[in-house]
Every structure is written in C-alpha cells, then in structure tokens.
Structure 1
Amino acid sequence: MAIATVPVLGIAGGHAWVNYDRALDAGRQEAIMLREAAAARHGAGLDAMQELITGLARREDLLDVAPESCDRTLRNLLELFPDRYANIWLLDAEGRMLCGALPVPRGQGFRDQGYFQSAIAERGYVLGEFTVGTVSGRGVLPAAAPILEPGGQIRGVVAAAAVLEYFVRANRNTAVQQAHNVWLLDRRGTAIPLTGGSDAELPDPPLTASLATGEGQTVEGIARDGTPHVWSVAVLEAELRLMIGISSEAVRALAAASLRDRVLELSLFLLACLAAIVFGAEIAVARPLRVLAARVRAWTPGQRFDPDTRANDPREVLELGAALASASSVIAERETALRAALGQRDLLMAEIHHRVKNNLQIVASLLSMQAGRLSEPRAVAEFGMARDRVQALATLHRHLYLHQSFERIALRPFLEELCRQLSDAMGTQGEEIFHIEIDADDIEIGSDQAISLALLVTEAVSNAMRHAFPEGEGGTISVALQREGDRAELRIADDGAGMMPAEEPPQGLGLRLINGFAQHLGGEVDIRQNHGTEIRVRFPLEHRTADPALLG
C-alpha cells in the first residue's frame, strides 16, 4: 500500500521543491536586475572620465604651452565638474608634475604611483586603486592615460581623480539605497560602500578577493555577520567591479514557509489516502486472510484442512483456501508414506549395525580362540591386539545402534565401555592392578571420526597396559577428552615407567598406528615422557550433521 503512494509523493514533493527553489531564485534575479541598473548608472560616469582623460591625452600641445596656461586649462575643466573630480593634472614621462587644476609644486615626483606605472606599462587608459588624494586629501579613484608621440614614444601622462562621494550621491533616493547595498571593488579587493552597507554585510575576505578579480557573477553565502546574502558583481572596468548585496534572510524564510505549507498539505493528503487504503484493505483483504491464517495455525498435519471461507471473500482468498485444502490431503498421504519408509529405514539401519557388531564379535572370538592355540608369547600378544581392535569397532557399532541416529555417537559412555573392555581383556590380574580414569566432556562426533578415535584409544590404552608397568606393578591410566571451541583434545597418560626411553624415536607398529589415526582425525600426536607416558592429540570437530529425515 505504501509503495502505491511513492509516485504521488515523488511528483508532489518535486513540485514543492521547485516552488521553493523558485522562491529562492527570486532574490538572485532581483540582485541581478539591481546590479545591471547600478552598473549602467556608474558606468556612464566612468565612461565620461575615460573620454575626458583620453581626450586630454591626444592634445600634445599641453606639453608645449607655458605651465601657467596649462594650469588654467585644467582648472577650467575641473570647474565644469566640481562635484565629480577632485583634481586633473599632467605629468612628464618621468612622473614629475608639470601642471594641474589644483596648486602643486612643479617638479614633484609621482613616479611611484600605481596609476602612473600602469599607464606607462599598458600604454593606454588605466584605472588606479581607491586611495586618498595626495593634493585634495579626499577619497578618490584615480585614472590615467599616456600622451604618445606619432612614433609611439611616451611624452607624458594625463591623470584625473574621481571623487568617491560622486558615486555615493549617484545612489541616493534609488531603490538600491532604500533596500540594498552597493560597493565598488578594486583589484585588491578593497570595498568602498556607495550606500549604507557595512563591512559586516560583505562576504568573507577570500570570496571578496575572488569577486574582485573574476568575471561578473552572482553567488549566495553567509556574510561576515552570519546572515544569508546574495551578491551580484558587474565588471565596470578591467580593474573595477560593482557589487550589489541583498539580504536573503527574508526570502529564505518566505520560501521555507511556503515549502512547509506544501509539505503539510501533501502529508495530510497522503494520510487521508493511506487511511482509505488501509480501511479498504482491512475489510476486503486483511480480515479474510487473518481468518484463513488462524485456520492454518489450528490445522493438525495429517488431517484434512478446512479453510472455512465465505462466499463474499476475495476470489484470491477463496482460491488460496481451496489450494491449501488440496495440499493438506496430499501432505497427509505423503506423511503416511514417509513414516512407513522411515520406520523401515530405522529397522534396516539397526539390523545392519547389529549384524556388523555380531560379525565383528565373531571375528574377535575367533582371534581369541586362535591365540589360545598358540604357544609363542609374541604371537599371542599380536593376536590379542588384533582382537582388541576388532572388539573396539564392534563396540562402536553397538553404540551407533543404541544412539539411533546412525550418524553420531556420544563419546563419554563409549569411552567408558571401551576402556572397561580393554581392562577385561587383560584378565583378572589386570583388573586388580590397573585403574582407568575417564574424564570426557559431553561431546558427540560423527561416525567417521569415531572409528579413528576408537582405534587410537585402543592402541594407546593397550600399549600402556602392556608396556608402561613392569610385571607385577600397578598404576593409573587416565583418558581425558575436553572440548576447546570447535576443537577437542584427547589425552591418554599413565604413571608407569614409560613405553621407551625418551631419546629413542617411536618405531613400533602401535605408535605408527596412533600417528595414522591422529592424522585421519585431522590432528598431530604429541608424546611426552615425564613420570610416565602422555599422548596428546588435538583435532578439529566435524560439524557435519545427519539429514533430519534420517534421524528417526
């Protein structure tokens, strides 16, 4: 049901986001419009200053007239624009003062001024940087152009200083002055406010420097006072930018309120749709399905299933109930057949293990009878060892039969019976002098590992009984099996004299068999001889389990 609302949610959410973005974009568009208007207004003043300076630069006669006449000409020009320019002056090719609209000592050097060096280097009209006029003492924006001879040689430089107050006055009583802020930026990133804007409303210094040298662009960000703003920059000259700043806090608040209203409307609409869908699904689908599910939970395998559906239930529910009733009949028949097959399988497996156990016991009895007919002690001992091995396998098959899983065997009772058999095989005397201790955790292992483990224990315990104790002496043989996570450790130790000197390597058949059985278990044998003999084998426990269908 919820998935069905995803397309509606996506369309409505996308529409709300578009409206939100459009409301935010209104602030950017307003900044661009105000920037274009301000750029046109201030660009006209800068163009007029460029025409004035380049016009004077084409008059080579200014360099040939008397200095007093040049002063008079420049002073007359300044009187025409008293509120626009602070001074107009003429320098020679070495940067020395020749004449000016304001009284300045002739010959004073201005060679180190940036506008003079730029005009010489560019050989054309240039704007300087915001500064305080050396002569006028007012905040000005200097500009200059070289006077060139026909051959291209520089004879002098004409310069003028535009009063920054002129640009401020040009913004009075405008929409910008009333609601927004305007700055002039030079190439160093110095910002001159033309309205009431403060430095706190500027972007951070790195962004300001980037805007001062880049092309015209509009950016959004956080001002130095922490409020959101939109700044739009226009290129007035190569070294001069005009920047409009608009606080977008109100715009963002309005856009956010609009987005919240749209989201609220959408949420209420979706809740109403979901309520209708849930109510309809509850009546038409969920309730009949719950009734059918309750009937399934109450159904007992082996009996026929009664769906108890109604005629007005959905067609799918009716078909599902009929299918379950049909399947229950088939399952009941299959279950009866499987139980019969499982019982036959159990009987067959039990018979197999029972016959194998009987056959192995017959073989053990034959070996024991054959040993009784021999007179050579060594041959009798070998037959006895063979009998013990066969008897160990017979005992294993008996435990598999008793366990009735036919795949796994509990080790503790098996080890107790196996060691008791080995002790009985030594005769009455052996029962009096040997004491066997069993310490085994409750571990079950597979039949494959159990065979190797049974033969390994048989070899180790038999060797200890035959070789660890001098004739007539008794002792203790301990068999321990502990689980260590997914591994197990088997330890068989005695407190007798040991099987052999510690420095001699194991060469007997019994020890070779012990090593072979340990490798089959997946472990290695560690034999230690200290106050007796100790055999340790650490091996991984197989996690293979029998098929549940075969457990009986």
Structure 2
Amino acid sequence: MTGGAEPAPSRPHAVFSGVRGRLLALATAATIPIAGIAGSNAWTAYQSALAQGPRNAMILREVAVARHGAAVETLREIVTGLALRGHLLDMSPEACDAQLARLRGLTPERYSNFWVLDPDGRLVCSGLPAPRGESYAHLDYVPAVRRSHAFEFGEFTIGMLSQRAVLPGVAPILGPDDTLRGMVGGSLFLGFFLRSDRGTQVAGDRSVWLIDQDGSVLPFGSAVAGALPPPDILARIGRNGEEEVRGRARDGTDHAWSAQELEPGLRLLVGLPVQAEVAAAQAALLRRLLELGLFLTGCLAAIVFGVEIAVSRPLRRLAARVRGWAPGSPLARDPKAAGPKEVRDLDRALAAAAAALTEREEALTGALRQRDLLMAEIHHRVKNNLQIVASLLNLQAGRLRSAAAQAEFAVARDRVQALATLHRHLYLHQSFERISLRPFLEELSRQLGDALGTGPDSGIAIRIAAEDIELSSDQAISLALLITESVSNAMRYAFPDGLGGTIDISLAVDGEEALLVISDDGVGLGGAEPNGDGLGLQLIEGFAAHLGGSAEIAGEHGTRIAVRFPIHHRSVEDTLRGAA
C-alpha cells in the first residue's frame, strides 16, 4: 500500500515525532523536579559543609574565651575588690607596699604588679619597688577611669617596672559622695596567655589573637599575621558581641574567624583555616551532581531501551507490514507478536480493517464487472436502435420527392449514425466512460464520406490529424455531433458544382485543453446553406458550448471552425461511486 510522498520534517521535529522521542521528552520533563530536589539537597549540603568552618571557629573561640577570659575576669575581680574596700589609702605607704607585694607573690607568673594611684595619677604605693609620687597620668587608662568612674583595661604595653609586655586594668576608689579618691591597678603578663595557650592546644592549626581597644593584636601560640582577616573585617569583628566570618585571609587562604568581646575594649579572635573544608565541600558537591547526572542518564537510557524493545520495534514491524500490504490480500501476521496491549490491539484492528477492505474491494470488483456487462449490453442495444432509426430515416427520405426534405432527412440520418458509431466504440473497446478519439474519428470520417458521396471520383478528400487521446463519453457525444455537422456542411456547401477539395480534421492537446480544427479549402461561407436559416452554424456553436468551449468560425479562404475546450477527467472515486 503506497501513498504520496510527504515533505521531510525539520530535524528537531523529526527527533520528537516518534513514540520514542516523545516518551523521552516526557521522561526528561518528569525528571526535572527530581533533578531540582536533588540539586537543592546537594547545594544545601554544600552550604552546610562551608558553614562547618565558622561553627568550628566558634567552638574554639568559646574554649579560648573560657580559658583566657577567666584570667582577665580574675584580674578585674581582684582589682575591683581592692578598690571597693578602699583601705589601701588609709594605710601607710610602706604597709600598702607590703600588702600589694604579698598579693603579687601569690601568683608571680601571672601578675606583673599591683599599685595604687591618687586622683591625679601619681603613685602612692606598689607591689614592686617604685618611686613614690611618680606620675602615671600619661597612661591611657588614667583619663579613662577619671571619665567613667569604672573599671578600665589599658592598651597592651611594656610595664614601667617589669619591662615586660602586660595588659593593665584599673578600678576607681570612690568616696561616699562618688568622688574619686584614687585608683587601684594591676597588670597581667601577656606571656601568661602564651604559656597557657601552648599548654592546652585544642587544634594544632588554629590561631588565637587578643585585640585591645587601640587595635593592637597579640598573637597566641603559632598564630601568624598572614592568618588575620583583612583590616576592614579586623576593625569591626566582635565589637557588637559574638560574630563569625568566613573569607580570604591576608595570605590568600580561606579562613573562618570567630570573635567575642571579653571586656569593653578587649576582644578575643580565633581563626581556623578552612581551605581543606572548602575543597572537600566542592568535591562533595561535584560528586553529588555527577551521581545525579549518571542516575538521570541511566534512567533515560533505560527508558529509551525499554521503549525501543517494547514499543518502537513492534510499531516499526507493524508499519513495515502495512507498507507491504497490497489491496486484495490479507495483512500479514507478525511472527514476533509482542509489545504492549495497545500495539497488539492496533495490529488486530489493522488486520480487521485490511480484511474489510479486501471484502469491500471484492464486492466493488464484482459490481464493476456486472456494470460492465450491463453497460456493454446497453451500448449494444442503443447502437442497434440508432442504426434502425438511421435506416428508417433513410427509407423515409427515399419516399420523398422534395430534394430539400431529402437533404434534411439525410442530415438527421448522419447525426443518428454518428451516435450509433460512438456507442459501438464504447462497448467494443470495453471502456464505457471514456473513448479513444483517433480510431473513432477515422471511422466517423469514412462513414460520413460514404454517406455523402466523397471518394476518388468526387474530388473531395477527408484528412485526419488527431492525437490519440481519451475523452469522457459526454464530451465524445458532443464532439461527434460537432464533427458530423461541420463535415456535412462542408460536403454540401463548400464545393458546389462538382468542385473538388480537401476537408482537414485535426485534434491536438495543449496541457489540460484540446484544440479541434475543421477546415476546408472550398468557397467559404459565401456558399453557405441555400435556405439561409443558419441552423448548422447554430448547432456547431451549441455543441462547442456543451464541450465547455466556444467555436471560432472564419470563412474568407474556405471555412475554418476552431474549438478549444477543456478535457474532463472522470476520477476513480466517481467510477467507484457509480458502481456502488
């Protein structure tokens, strides 16, 4: 079974025009939510892995705050306790020196010194020997205590007496009326922080710094300046409570920092390199995405393979069997009948349709054969009846004495005889809807010549130049009558007084049209019908109109009749519809 060629679809359309392509597109669309969820989970895990660094830095900061903050808090408590009692100002300078020396002697590795200043910042007494009355007013914590009347830490500095790096802290001694009577100070060895930090390592690669109010940085242990955050982050981190930050350190490595304010103006900063964690998080993200891609690719491959085996192959086999099916034969069965139920149902439906078409074709073939027999019988009987009518007309014309009447009967006889000849060709050639023109025109010309007396002795010849085309029976009837009328007129009026000549009949095809030309070299229209009624020319124009064209008649040098008309094609559907 064949059909007209269809234009090739564009490549994207061709990919998704089949069942496999469409199911693959649907499966791909169905995996989008899965891919979105899995991708979102992978991204969440990646962000969580990146956040692990700041969380670890926060834990280390809490440990460091608990350890180093205790030393700072102890210094505050000792100094604040001495200031609240206020008895040191009531003692003699020597007794005050001795008491402060005993207090320092309790933990000499931790505290550098304890001292008492008057409201102007001059030394009153000290745990270490020092000149009395020496002014400490230039140190940063003296004006700070004067302003706040509260405990204040100073900047990291070198002790005036110990000549070692210390962190000073000072508390005010206030009178009953909240007036400043003096100040009690103490200093904590910064080296104590370093020894404490080395003794209790929490993470070998972490860094800890202590930052004073002036921004000076004291590194603990193995902390290096390259691990510090950029200056803008260092200036603000931890000033508003606890804070965690991740970014690039000054040496370009990835770090996480956590800071907390131990006391106003004193911050503790912990840094932790997270280069390995970032790389591990990125590797885990890539691994998850790769696993997702492999999973989806495997799923799509399984779908494609399953569709190919279960759907596409059975459909292709079915399509091949349908293409190989010939009308009149049953649809071949599939030796590998398999596939989904829908494909098997389609197979059975096509087989049933093929069987129904075969039965219908057999019925139509039988109907056509019966019609052919009937049409042959009809044309045969019509031909016989028309010949009888022609014979009766001929007999009747022989009984008439009027030459004009005999001529009219002869014309009628020729017309009837032309129709009889047409019906004879229709049933002899077993084509009841169409007729081959060339043999018909040759016989019609001979018949007219015999009837009108043309021949070698008459001096009038009929020449035919016609292509062998087929016309429908309706057009053939009009064409036969038009030629009969034109040739009869030419024989009777174009060659008067025994004048000889030639009558030419030509029929040519021009595309979907035909051109009929009947011409003679006689006297032209000047020698037309003697009765002058013009009936022959009217009939010619009428037959031309019935053919679907018009007659162009010229009569200057002989007569020329040209008719251009469309060729009507009777379709197979019309033929089958007529047989149904």
Q: Which residue of 1 is the match for residue 115 of structure 2?
A: 89
- Residues 212/32 of structure 1: CA separation in 2 closer, same or farther (3 Å cut): closer
- Note if contact 1:187-1:212 (Cα within 8 Å) is conserved in structure 2: no
Counterpart check, 1:34 vs 2:60: yes
SS in 1 for 2:137: coil
Deviations 1:201-250, CA, capped at 9 Å, x for gaps: 01001101101523111111110001111111122112211111111111
Please identify the structure whose Cα radius of gyration is greater.
2
Amino acid across the alignment from 1:134: M
What's the CA shift for 1:313? Answer: 8.0
- Residues 84/173 of structure 1: CA separation in 2 closer, same or farther (3 Å cut): closer
Query: 127, 133, 139: which one pairs with 2:153?
Result: 127
SS in 2 for 1:235: strand
Q: Which residue of 1 is the match for residue 404 of structure 2?
A: none
TM-score, normalized by length of structure 2? Answer: 0.49
- Residues 56/8 of structure 1: CA separation in 2 closer, same or farther (3 Å cut): same
Report 1:124-523 matches (<5 A): 124-176=150-202, 178-283=204-309
Counterpart check, 1:15 vs 2:41: yes
- Note if contact 1:185-1:240 (Cα within 8 Å) is conserved in structure 2: yes
Q: Which residue of 1 is the match for residue 380 of structure 2?
A: none
Q: Measure, in 1, the Cα distance between the counterparts of 2:163 and 2:333.
A: 102
- Note if contact 2:314-2:338 (Cα within 8 Å) is conserved in structure 1: no
Q: Measure, in 2, the Cα distance between the counterparts of 1:132 and 1:294.
A: 99
Deviates more, 1:286-295 or 1:121-130: 286-295
Q: Measure, in 2, the Cα distance between the counterparts of 1:47 and 1:109.
A: 27
Deviates more, 1:5-14 or 1:244-253: 5-14
Q: Measure, in 1, the Cα distance between the counterparts of 2:182 and 2:229.
A: 40
Amino acid across the alignment from 1:36: E
SS in 2 for 1:176: coil
- Note if contact 1:177-1:195 (Cα within 8 Å) is conserved in structure 2: no
Amino acid across the alignment from 1:50: R
What's the CA shift for 1:282? Answer: 4.1
What's the CA shift for 1:178? Answer: 2.5
Q: Which residue of 2 is the match for residue 495 of structure 1?
A: none
Q: Measure, in 1, the Cα distance between the counterparts of 2:144 and 2:320.
A: 94
Structure 1: which 5+ residue stretches go unaligned?
296-306, 326-552
Query: 111, 136, 139: which one pairs with 2:137?
Result: 111
Amino acid across the alignment from 1:246: L
- Residues 11/67 of structure 1: CA separation in 2 closer, same or farther (3 Å cut): same
- Residues 146/266 of structure 1: CA separation in 2 closer, same or farther (3 Å cut): same
Q: Measure, in 2, the Cα distance between the counterparts of 1:119 and 1:294.
A: 102
Counterpart check, 1:65 vs 2:91: yes
SS in 1 for 2:105: helix
TM-score, normalized by length of structure 1? Answer: 0.52
Q: Measure, in 1, the Cα distance between the counterparts of 2:65 and 2:163.
A: 27
Deviations 1:268-303, CA, capped at 9 Å, x for gaps: 2111111112223445566788999999xxxxxxxx
Amino acid across the alignment from 1:224: R
- Residues 96/5 of structure 1: CA separation in 2 closer, same or farther (3 Å cut): same
Q: Measure, in 1, the Cα distance between the counterparts of 2:315 and 2:143.
A: 91
- Note if contact 1:233-1:242 (Cα within 8 Å) is conserved in structure 2: yes
Q: Measure, in 2, the Cα distance between the counterparts of 1:20 and 1:292.
A: 52
- Note if contact 1:13-1:263 (Cα within 8 Å) is conserved in structure 2: yes
Amino acid across the alignment from 1:152: D
Deviations 1:437-480, CA, capped at 9 Å, x for gaps: xxxxxxxxxxxxxxxxxxxxxxxxxxxxxxxxxxxxxxxxxxxx
- Note if contact 2:158-2:164 (Cα within 8 Å) is conserved in structure 1: yes
- Note if contact 2:205-2:273 (Cα within 8 Å) is conserved in structure 1: no
Q: Measure, in 2, the Cα distance between the counterparts of 1:228 and 1:235.
A: 24
- Note if contact 1:292-1:309 (Cα within 8 Å) is conserved in structure 2: no
Q: Which residue of 1 is the match for residue 69 of structure 2?
A: 43
Q: Measure, in 1, the Cα distance between the counterparts of 2:84 and 2:71.
A: 20
SS in 2 for 1:140: strand
Aligned pair count reads 319
Percent identity at matched positions?
46
- Note if contact 2:262-2:268 (Cα within 8 Å) is conserved in structure 1: yes
- Note if contact 1:186-1:212 (Cα within 8 Å) is conserved in structure 2: no
What's the CA shift for 1:7? Answer: 2.0
The Cα RMSD (Å) is 3.4
- Note if contact 2:239-2:261 (Cα within 8 Å) is conserved in structure 1: no
- Note if contact 1:288-1:313 (Cα within 8 Å) is conserved in structure 2: yes
Deviations 1:129-158, CA, capped at 9 Å, x for gaps: 212222322111111011111111101111
- Note if contact 1:188-1:212 (Cα within 8 Å) is conserved in structure 2: no
- Note if contact 1:189-1:212 (Cα within 8 Å) is conserved in structure 2: no
Deviates more, 1:142-151 or 1:238-247: 238-247
SS in 2 for 1:193: strand
Q: Measure, in 1, the Cα distance between the counterparts of 2:215 and 2:266.
A: 10
Counterpart check, 1:100 vs 2:87: no
- Residues 285/308 of structure 1: CA separation in 2 closer, same or farther (3 Å cut): farther
Amino acid across the alignment from 1:143: G
What's the CA shift for 1:316? Answer: 8.3
- Residues 103/284 of structure 1: CA separation in 2 closer, same or farther (3 Å cut): same
SS in 2 for 1:188: coil
- Note if contact 2:123-2:132 (Cα within 8 Å) is conserved in structure 1: yes
- Note if contact 2:155-2:168 (Cα within 8 Å) is conserved in structure 1: yes
